[in-house]
Amino acid sequence: MAFRNVFIAIVVGFALIVSAFLLNRARPRAQTEQANAASVRASGKCAECHYRQQYSIVHEYELSAHAAHNVSCLDCHQPAPNQHGQEHHGFTIVAKLTAGNCRACHESIYQEFLRSRHAAVSWAAVYGAKGLTPEEVAYAEKFHPGYANRPPHPFTTLEGTSAMTSGCEQCHSVGRPNADGTIGSCTACHTRHTSSVAIAREPRTCGQCHMGPDHSQIEIYEESKHGVMFNAQEAMLNLNAPARQLTTRDMWVPTCATCHMSGLNGNKVTHDTSERLSYYLADPITKKRPNYEMAQANMKEICNQCHTRSLIDRVYSQAEQVVSVTNQRVTEAKAIPDALRAQGILTGKPFTSRIDFVYFDFWHYDARTAKHGAFMGGADFVQWHGNYPMLNKMVELEYLAGQMRMEHGRGH
Ligand code: HEC
Ligand code: HEC
Ligand code: HEC
Ligand code: HEC
Ligand code: HEC
Ligand code: HEC
Ligand code: HEC
Ligand code: HEC
C-alpha cells in the first residue's frame, strides 16, 4: 500500500517536472532567461529617468532584439576594457561608446568587421596612417595592402579641419581608431538603440554614405530594376528575418546588404564587404583584386539564388568590358597633365591648377560612376553620368593643355 503511494507520487512528480521542463523550453527565451537582479535594476532605473526626458531612446531600445533578450542599458553603457567610466546616478557608465561595447557579445562579427575596409582603411583614406597605431596599420595592410599605410589625403590640408570634421569624417569615422584600442563603430548601420538587422538591410542606410557623384551607389540602385522592385514590394518583404536564417522567401528582391553582406539561403553572412568584390572599382585604374576568382564566385552565388547563370554571366562580361574601356580612357586622360608636368609647363602643388580638377573629376566622378553603374544595373550612370562627361572632359583637357602650352611658349 505504502509502496504503491510512494511509487505513484514519484511517477506523478517526475511527469510534472518533465512537462514543466518541456513547457518551459517551448516558451520564448526572453521569458525563460530571467534577467538577473542587476539588469532589472539597471534598465528599470535608466529607463525611468530617460523615458521622460528622451522617450525616443528608450522606445527604440524597447523595440530591439536586445530588450527581448534582456540585454540591459548597462550591458552596453558599462565601461568596456580600457574605457573610463563616469558616476551617473548611482551607476558607472560611459557616454562615448565604441565597437568595444558590442564586442564582448559579438566578438566574431567584430573580427570580420576589423578585416573589412569599413574599419581602419576607411579612416586611412582621409587621415592616412596618422592616428592609427603601427599594429592597427599592419593588421589592415595584411588584408588591404597599400590602403592603410598611406599619407593623409591632400584635401586634409587644402580644405582644413572643419571640412574634415563635419564632412569626410562623418562617413569615414565608421572605421575611426578609438581610445580603448578598438576600431570603428557598429551603429553606423544598426543605429544606437534599435540594433536592427532590418534597418541595416535598408538601402537608405548604406546610402547615407554611398551617395553623390563620386560613389553613386544609392542613386544607381534606385534606378535599377532591383531598386524599383524594392520600392514597390518592400512592405511584403520580411526585413526582420534573423541573419542566419534569411532566405529568398523573406527577401526575393535584393538590397545593398543582400548582395554585399547577407547569407541568403544558407550562404555565409559577412561583415567584410570585400569578400564578394573582384575589382578595385574606386581606383583611377581598376585592377583585379588578389582574390578575384573566389570573390566573383561568391557574388555570383548570391545572384544565383534569384537568377540563372546566363543572365549573371552576361551582366559580368558586359561590366568587365566597361572596366577595360574605362581604364584606357583614364590612362589617356592622365597622360595629358602628366606630360605638362614632365615638360615643366604644369608646376606647383596638386590642386592649384584648373587642369588638375578636370582630370580629378574625370576619374573620380565619371570613370568610377560608369564602372559602378555597369555592375549594379544603372544604365543612365554608365552613359549620362559616365561615358558622356568623360568624352566632354577629354576635349576640355586637350583644350586646357593647348592653352597652357601657348601661354608657356609666350612666357619664354
Ligand atoms: C535619476 C535619473 C537618471 C538615471 C537613473 C539615469 N540617468 Fe542617464 N541621464 C540623466 C540626465 C538628467 C541626463 C542629462 C540629460 C541632458 O543632458 O539633457 C543623463 C544623461 C545620460 C547620458 C549622456 C551623458 C553624456 O555625458 O553625454 C547617458 C549615456 C545616460 N544618461 C545613460 C544612462 C544609463 C545607461 C543609465 C542607467 C545605468 C542612466 N543613464 C540612469 C538622468 C538619469
Ligand atoms: C546596444 C547597446 C546599447 C543599449 C542596450 C543602450 N544603449 Fe544607449 N547608447 C548606445 C550607443 C552606441 C550610444 C552612442 C554613444 C556615443 O555617442 O558614443 C548611446 C547613447 C545613449 C545616450 C545619449 C544619446 C543622445 O542622443 O544624447 C543616452 C541618454 C542613452 N544611450 C541611454 C540609454 C538607455 C536609457 C538605455 C536603456 C533603455 C540604453 N541607452 C541602452 C548603445 C546602447
Ligand atoms: C550583453 C551582450 C550584448 C551586447 C553588449 C550587445 N549585444 Fe547585440 N545581441 C545580443 C543578444 C543576446 C542578441 C540576440 C540574440 C542574437 O541575435 O544573437 C543580440 C542581437 C544583436 C543584433 C541582431 C538583432 C536582430 O534583429 O536580429 C544586432 C544587429 C546587434 N545585436 C548589434 C549590437 C551592437 C551594434 C552592439 C553594441 C552597440 C551590441 N549588439 C551589443 C547581445 C549583446
Ligand atoms: C557622404 C559620405 C562621404 C564623405 C563626406 C566622404 N567620403 Fe570618401 N568615401 C565614401 C564612400 C562610401 C567610399 C567608398 C567608395 C567605393 O568604394 O566605391 C569612399 C571612398 C573614398 C576613397 C577611396 C577608397 C580608398 O580607401 O582609397 C578615398 C581616398 C576617400 N573616400 C577620401 C575621402 C576624403 C579625403 C573625404 C573628404 C575630403 C571624403 N572621402 C569624404 C564616403 C564619403
Ligand atoms: C558611415 C558611412 C557608411 C555606411 C553607413 C556604409 N558604408 Fe560602406 N563604405 C564606407 C566607406 C567610407 C568606404 C570606403 C572605405 C575605403 O576603402 O576607404 C566603404 C566601402 C564599402 C564597400 C567597398 C569595400 C571594398 O572592399 O572596396 C562596400 C561594398 C560597402 N562599403 C558596402 C556597404 C553596405 C552594403 C552598406 C550598408 C549595409 C554600407 N557600406 C554602409 C562608408 C559607409
Ligand atoms: C556596413 C554596415 C554594418 C556595420 C558597420 C555593422 N553591421 Fe552588423 N549587420 C549589417 C547587416 C546588413 C546585417 C544583416 C545581414 C543579413 O542581411 O543577414 C548585420 C547583421 C548583424 C548581426 C546579426 C548577425 C547574426 O549572425 O546573427 C549582428 C549581431 C551584428 N550585425 C552586429 C554588428 C556589430 C557588433 C558590428 C560592429 C563590429 C556591426 N554589426 C557592424 C550591417 C552592418
Ligand atoms: C544585385 C546586387 C547588388 C546590389 C543590390 C548592390 N550591389 Fe554593390 N556591387 C555589386 C557588384 C556585382 C559589384 C562589383 C563587384 C566586383 O568588383 O566584382 C558591386 C560594387 C560595389 C561597390 C564598389 C566597390 C569598389 O570596388 O569600388 C560598392 C561600394 C558597392 N557595390 C556598394 C553598394 C551599395 C551601397 C548598394 C546599395 C545602395 C549596392 N552596392 C547594391 C552588386 C550589388
Ligand atoms: C534576392 C533576389 C535577387 C538577387 C540576389 C539578385 N537579383 Fe537581380 N533581380 C531580382 C528581381 C526580383 C528582378 C526583377 C525581375 C523581373 O523583372 O522579373 C531582378 C532583375 C535583374 C536584372 C534586370 C533584368 C531585366 O532584363 O529586366 C538584372 C540584369 C539583374 N537582376 C542582375 C542581377 C545580378 C548581376 C545579381 C547579382 C550581382 C542579381 N541580379 C541579384 C532579384 C534578385
Quote the pLDDT of residue 32. Answer: 36
Q: Is it the case that residue 3 has pLDDT exceeding 80?
A: no
Length of the chain: 412
Residue 7's pLDDT band (cuts 50, 70, 90): low
- Candidates 306, 295, 330, 320; CA nearest to 374 is 320
Across 9-13, 82-86, 379-383, least confident range: 9-13
Domain range for 356 is 320-411
Query: What integer is the mean pLDDT of 70-93?
Result: 95
Grid-cell match 511517477, residue found? 11
Q: Report whether 286 contacts 326 (CB < 8 A).
A: yes
Query: Using one digit for the tens of pLDDT, what is the confidence trace for 279-323?
Result: 999 999 999 999 999 999 999 999 999 999 999 999 999 999 999
Q: Is residue 396 part of a domain?
A: yes
Q: Which of 57, 64, 83 to mutate to test the pocket of ligand 2 (most atoms within 8 A of CB)?
A: 57
pLDDT value at position 33? 40
- State yes or no: pLDDT of 26 exceeds 50: no
pLDDT at 141 over 60: yes
pLDDT of residue 48: 87
> What pLDDT shows up at residue 52?
87
Distance 210 CA to ligand 5 centre (A): 7
The answer to the question of residue 134 being in a domain is no
User: Once rounded to an integer, what is the mean pLDDT over residues 48-62?
Assistant: 91
Nearest residue to 383 via CA among 330, 327, 322, 332: 322
Distance 237 CA to ligand 4 centre (A): 31
In angstroms, the CA 378 to CA 386 distance is 10
Residue 410 pLDDT grade (very low, low, confident, very high; cuts 50, 70, 90):
confident
Domain count across the chain = 1
d(CA 103, ligand 7 centre) in Å: 27
CA-nearest residue, atom 3 of ligand 3: 105
Q: What is the mean pLDDT of residues 377-403?
A: 98
CB 255 within 8 A of CB 198: no
The answer, as to whether pTM is greater than 0.85, is yes
Tell me the residue type at 396: E
The answer to whether 121 and 100 have CB atoms below 8 angstroms apart is no
What atom of ligand 3 comes closest to residue 68's alpha carbon? 14
C-alpha cell at position 202: 535598408
- pLDDT (mean) for 351-366: 97
- 42, pLDDT greater than 90: no
Cell 540591459, residue located: 72
| C-alpha cell read off for 73 | 542599458
- Tell which one of 39, 46, 54 to mutate to probe ligand 1, the residue whose CB is within 8 A of the most ligand atoms: 46
Closest CA to 341 of 290, 265, 401, 268: 401
Residue 344 covered by a domain: yes
- For a pLDDT cut of 90, what percent of the chain falls above it? 86
User: CB within 8 A of 393, min separation 6: which ones?
Assistant: 333, 358, 359, 361, 362, 366
In the predicted structure, residue 103 carries a pLDDT above the cut 80: yes
Could you tell me the pLDDT band of residue 43, with boundaries at 50, 70 and 90?
confident
Mean pLDDT on 192-220: 98
Residue 171 has pLDDT above 70, yes or no: yes
How far does residue 42's CA lie from ligand 1's centre (Å)? 12
* Mean pLDDT of the region 367-394: 98
Of all protein residues, the one whose alpha carbon is nearest to atom 28 of ligand 2 is: 57
Would residue 345 count as lying in a domain? Answer: yes
In a domain, 174, yes or no: no
CA distance 28 to 278: 42
Give 370 or 2, the one with higher predicted confidence: 370
What does the pLDDT read at residue 62? 92
Between CA 201 and CA 207, with CA 205 as vertex, the angle to 5 degrees is 120
Q: Which atom of ligand 2 is nearest to the CA of 195?
A: 1
Amino acid identity of 108? S
Cα 60 to middle of ligand 1, angstroms:
16
Distance 165 CA to ligand 5 centre (A): 18
Ligand 4: residue of 209, 217, 276 to mutate (most ligand atoms within 8 A of CB) is 209
Please say whether the dihedral angle defined by the alpha carbons of residues 276, 282, 285 and 290, taken in this order, is positive or negative.
negative
Ligand closest to 250 (CA) is: 8
Instruction: Check if the beta carbon of residue 272 is closer than 8 Å to that of residue 120.
Output: no
pLDDT band at 44; cut points 50, 70, 90: confident
Q: Between 323 and 15, whose confidence is greater? A: 323
Compute the distance from residue 270 Cα to the ligand 5 centre, in Å: 13
Q: Is 204 within the bounds of a domain?
A: no
